């Protein structure tokens, strides 16, 4: 067991900032290369005309999941030290709906909007300033919604612990789901292309 | 087999690899390694060197006044005692429930009970469960009362000691206690009423959102 490195104090928090900076740059490059810096591609996902977002996300999820799972089975990673976000069911569902609306209307999610700002897209700059304004509004009204914000607390739940399944089974099911989603996405794109009569990127 | 593999498109190859790994995962077991614990006794013994695993009561008082929020303060006594009086900002996790608590391994945890015994036990349980930053409030609640809530004036103290006492008086006031300037008052200490817990005491597990240092995206 020697990872996560930071939690095992292989480096201090100053060094961790430098590492975060490097990883952040790599992440930004990956997003831009994947075409995630363009609002048209991102919002096309919601009309099922271009399934790139789904494919990229699922690829990332499956790769990270298999990697983490096997590394921890082999004893290189202590999974219990990997940070889990707490679950507050209803507040998260409401927040997800709002974020989804913003995603369709604006064409970006928070991360991709930053990538688009970096490539000089005007709409992304407006999007980001709106986001910052929204954060300020949220901060101002937080005392009023604090109770709701903390409601539905479920702790650090994971699919295996919640459904009482073995970790291996969940890993397998997620892989199946991903491969299924890929096949469906490819098929759907062809259908959509035939319908609209034009080729899609 | 080799020809079959070569004829697959890249996507199909990747899908095959993922499916294979997923199939293996079905039988590879639990990544958390179950609940059995291996204790590195040397590591645990070493972490007590130079009292590195202790927090001094006045230091803790300082943290609370400065509103430091990078640690979890855990009251190991029963809920009954917790409701009677506790250190502001602490949460109640009675010792028997410590191993099933929601405490995170990456948190800095300060344990206290009436004296040092229960916190030492909890300290060992958490340490053996690979919790990194576990600390004991040295002297427990008893010393907290003695040093922070009701500090005694130094007898024939020097200038420095008196200045220190002036500071402690303010600290005692902050926590609703009272400094003991007269030695006769100290005699009646038993009758002194403990301050009622009003300042931000959180009940058992659900941690308040604002106090926690958030991580993640």
For chain B, which residues make up each domain, given as ranges? Answer: 40-206
Q: Which residue of B has its CA nearest to A84?
A: B216
pLDDT at B193: 63
CB contacts < 8 Å between A and B, how many? Answer: 85
The predicted complex's ipTM stands at 0.70
- Angstrom distance (rounded) from CA B73 to CA A59: 41
Q: Which of B27, B105, B208 sits opposite A168 (nearest CB)?
A: B27
Q: Sorting pLDDT into bands at 50, 70 and 90, what band is B37?
A: low
Chain A interface includes B50 (CB < 8 A)? no
pLDDT at B207: 42
Instruction: Report chain A's mean pLDDT, rounded to a whole number.
Output: 87
Most confident of A70-79, A92-101, B69-78, B150-159: A92-101
Q: pLDDT exceeding 70 applies to what percent of chain A?
A: 97
Mean predicted confidence (pLDDT) in A88-104: 92
Binary contact (B28, A175; C-beta < 8 A): no
In terms of pLDDT, which residue wins out, B36 or B16? B16
Mean predicted confidence (pLDDT) in B7-12: 82
Mean predicted confidence (pLDDT) in A143-150: 90
In terms of pLDDT, which residue wins out, B10 or B180? B10
pLDDT beyond 90 at B197:
no
Mean predicted confidence (pLDDT) in B92-112: 85
Among the residue ranges B58-62, B77-81, B91-95, B129-133, the one predicted with the least confidence is B129-133
DSSP state of B75: E
Whether the CB-CB separation of B112 and B141 falls below 8 Å is answered with yes
**Could you read off the pLDDT of A149-184 as tens digits, one per residue?**
888 888 778 888 888 888 889 999 999 999 999 989
- Angstrom distance (rounded) from CA B168 to CA B150: 9
pLDDT beyond 90 at A93:
yes
pLDDT at B196: 65
Q: Sorting pLDDT into bands at 50, 70 and 90, what band is B209?
A: very low
Chain A interface includes B29 (CB < 8 A)? yes
Binary contact (B216, A78; C-beta < 8 A): no
pLDDT at A131: 94
Q: pLDDT exceeding 70 applies to what percent of chain B?
A: 79
CATH topology of domain B40-206: Oxidized Rhodanese; domain 1 (3.40.250)
Mutate to test the interface with B, among A60, A145, A164, A168 (most CBs of B within 10 A): A168
Closest by CA position to A55, among listed A195, A197, A189: A189
Instruction: Report chain B's mean pLDDT, rounded to a whole number.
Output: 78
**Could you read off the pLDDT of B17-36 as tens digits, one per residue?**
888 888 888 888 777 765 45
**Could you read off the pLDDT of B130-184 as tens digits, one per residue?**
788 899 998 888 888 888 888 887 777 777 888 888 888 888 888 888 777 755 4
pLDDT at B213: 46
CA distance A166 to chain B (A): 7
Q: Sorting pLDDT into bands at 50, 70 and 90, what band is B75?
A: very high
Mean predicted confidence (pLDDT) in A102-127: 91
Closest by CA position to A70, among listed B23, B46, B217: B23
- Give residue ranges of A with CB < 8 Å to any B CB: 7, 9, 59, 62, 66, 68-70, 72-73, 75, 78-81, 83, 85, 111, 146, 149-150, 153, 155-156, 166-169, 171-172, 174-176, 178-179, 182
Whether the CB-CB separation of B76 and B110 falls below 8 Å is answered with no
Chain A interface includes B209 (CB < 8 A)? yes
CA distance B205 to chain A (A): 9
pLDDT beyond 50 at A193:
yes
CA distance B208 to chain A (A): 7
Please tell me the pTM assigned to this model: 0.57
Q: How far is CA A83 from CA A123, B101, B105, in A?
A: 34, 16, 9
Mean predicted confidence (pLDDT) in A115-141: 93
For A56, half-sphere exposure in the C-beta direction (CA atoms, 13 angstrom radius) is: 15
User: Angle formed by the axes of helices A52-73 and A167-196, to 10°?
Assistant: 160
Among the residue ranges A43-52, B6-15, B29-38, B122-131, the one predicted with the least confidence is B29-38
């Amino acid at each position: 067991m020697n990872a996560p490195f930071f939690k095992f104090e292989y480096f201090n928090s100053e060094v961790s900032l430098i590492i975060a900076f490097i990883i952040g740059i790599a992440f930004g490059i990956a997003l831009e290369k994947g075409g995630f810096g363009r609002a048209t591609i991102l919002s096309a996902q919601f009309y099922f005309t271009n399934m790139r977002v789904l494919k990229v996300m699922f690829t990332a999820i499956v790769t990270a999941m298999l990697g983490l799972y096997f590394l921890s089975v082999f004893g290189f990673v202590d999974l219990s030290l990997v940070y889990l976000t707490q679950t507050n069911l209803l507040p998260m569902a409401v927040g997800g709906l709002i974020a989804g609306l913003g995603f369709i209307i604006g064409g970006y999610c928070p991360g991709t909007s930053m990538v688009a700002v970096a490539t000089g897209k005007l709409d992304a700059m407006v999007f980001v300033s709106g986001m910052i304004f929204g954060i300020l509004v949220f901060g101002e009204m937080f005392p009023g919604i604090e109770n709701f914000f903390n409601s539905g607390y479920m702790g650090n739940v994971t699919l295996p612990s919640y459904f009482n399944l073995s970790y291996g089974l969940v890993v397998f099911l997620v892989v199946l789901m991903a491969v299924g989603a890929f096949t469906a996405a490819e098929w759907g794109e062809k259908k959509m292309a035939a319908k609209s009569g034009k080729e899609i990127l | 087999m080799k020809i079959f593999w070569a004829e697959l498109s890249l996507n199909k190859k990747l899908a095959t690899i993922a499916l294979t790994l997923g199939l293996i995962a079905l039988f590879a077991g639990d990544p958390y390694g179950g609940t059995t614990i291996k204790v590195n006794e040397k590591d645990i013994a070493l972490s007590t060197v130079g009292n590195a695993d202790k927090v001094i009561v006045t230091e803790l008082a300082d943290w609370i006044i400065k509103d430091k929020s990078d640690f979890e303060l855990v009251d190991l006594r029963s809920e009954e005692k917790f409701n009677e009086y506790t250190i502001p900002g602490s949460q109640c996790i009675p010792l028997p429930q410590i191993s099933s608590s929601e405490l995170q391994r990456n948190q800095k945890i300060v344990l206290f009970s009436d004296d040092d015994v229960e916190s030492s036990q909890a300290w060992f349980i958490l340490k053996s469960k690979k919790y990194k930053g576990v600390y004991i409030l040295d002297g427990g609640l008893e010393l907290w009362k003695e040093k922070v809530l009701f500090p005694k004036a130094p007898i024939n103290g020097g200038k420095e000691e008196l200045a220190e006492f002036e500071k402690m008086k303010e600290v005692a006031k902050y926590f609703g206690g009272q400094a003991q300037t007269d030695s006769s008052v100290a005699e009646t200490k038993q009758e002194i009423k403990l301050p009622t817990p009003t300042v931000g005491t959180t009940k058992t597990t659900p941690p308040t959102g604002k106090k926690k240092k958030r991580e993640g995206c």
